[in-house]
């Protein structure tokens, strides 16, 4: 016979364990779109303790809608090794362009991340901890923002924070505003080829211990946007993981 009290106790105890595990980690990744999910996967595979924070209940960010609700996604050839790591199928469209299913991409990234990483969904990052660089984030339930209730937040600490919040570059904007150390320029208009190259090239440390990946990079540096081609997002997520691994090991 199942017991309601035990069901509640099991949920509360196991979630609190998860929350306690997130109090002090190697890397906090903010945003569970394609870049944040990819970075989370590779960093945890490299042995780092990762907490992934997503303000919505569902992970996946801009993957689900493909292009204009057409749930197909395009990647360029350089991103194929990443799709292979996740076991995601794709079809060759021409020499450079490959097509895949948006639902399979989202589902596969989420599945692999959920098996390895502590994920806090329905949790929103509203501020950063800054000492010798960024050393953590200030969080609250997304529900408290939606309901407009005045509730003080809690703090999660880490050696490195990654802004993977997409077009809004929320963590970089907050840090720029509070430190006055750099500027977030805002993304520019569409130029897919240039944007895909530059977003990977510029992926890296924006401020001590604060890294940007994915569309947040385009926002910080004023790069063009690229629309529904996702290779750059995956490659940026992998690159930020490699850069952080080098930093934390040195």
List residues near ligand 48F by CB under 6 A.
Answer: 30-36, 53-56, 61-63, 124-125, 164-166, 168, 170, 214-216, 226, 229-230, 233
Q: Which is nearer to ligand 48F, 73 or 245 (CB)?
A: 73
Question: Could you tell me which of 192, 194, 193, 238 has the C-alpha nearest to residue 214?
Answer: 238
What minimum distance in Å lies between the beta carbon of 241 and ligand 48F?
A: 13
Report the 10 Å Cβ neighbour count for 139.
Answer: 22
What minimum distance in Å lies between the beta carbon of 236 and ligand 48F?
A: 8
Cα 199 to Cα 41, 192, 214, 215, 240, distances in angstroms: 19, 10, 7, 7, 11
Q: Which is nearer to ligand 48F, 207 or 230 (CB)?
A: 230
What minimum distance in Å lies between the beta carbon of 179 and ligand 48F?
A: 18
Q: Which is nearer to ligand 48F, 7 or 99 (CB)?
A: 99
Q: What is the Cα–Cα distance from 235 to 237, expressed in whole angstroms?
A: 5
Q: Which is nearer to ligand 48F, 41 or 47 (CB)?
A: 41
What minimum distance in Å lies between the beta carbon of 75 and ligand 48F?
A: 10
DSSP E strands in the chain: the ranges are 24-30, 50-54, 72-76, 91-92, 97-101, 118-121, 123-131, 133-141, 154-163, 188-190, 204-207, 210-212, 224-225
Q: Which is nearer to ligand 48F, 161 or 245 (CB)?
A: 161
What minimum distance in Å lies between the beta carbon of 4 and ligand 48F?
A: 32
Q: Sign (positive/negative) of CA torsion 113, 110, 193, 74?
A: positive
């Amino acid at each position: 016979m199942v017991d309601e009290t035990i069901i509640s106790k099991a949920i509360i105890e196991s979630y609190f364990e998860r929350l306690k595990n997130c109090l002090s980690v190697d890397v906090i990744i903010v945003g569970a779109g394609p870049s944040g999910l990819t970075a989370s996967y590779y960093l945890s595979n490299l042995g780092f303790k990762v907490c992934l924070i997503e303000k919505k209940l569902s992970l996946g960010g801009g993957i689900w809608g493909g292009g204009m609700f057409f749930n197909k996604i395009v990647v360029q050839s350089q991103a194929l090794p990443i799709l292979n790591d996740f076991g995601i199928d794709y079809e060759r469209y021409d020499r450079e362009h490959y097509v895949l299913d948006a639902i399979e991409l989202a589902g596969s990234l989420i599945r692999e991340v959920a098996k390895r990483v502590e994920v806090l969904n329905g949790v929103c990052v509203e501020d950063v901890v800054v000492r010798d660089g960024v050393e953590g984030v200030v969080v609250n339930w997304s529900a408290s923002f939606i309901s407009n209730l005045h509730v003080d937040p809690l703090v999660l600490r880490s050696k490195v924070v990654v802004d993977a919040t997409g077009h809004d570059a929320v963590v970089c904007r907050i840090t720029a505003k509070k430190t006055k150390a750099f500027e977030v320029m805002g993304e520019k208009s569409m130029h897919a080829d240039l944007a895909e190259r530059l977003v990977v090239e510029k992926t890296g440390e924006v401020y001590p211990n604060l890294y940007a990946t994915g569309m947040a990079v385009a926002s910080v540096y004023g790069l063009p946007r690229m629309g529904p081609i996702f290779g750059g997002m995956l490659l940026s997520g992998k690159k930020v993981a490699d850069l952080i691994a080098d930093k934390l090991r040195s």
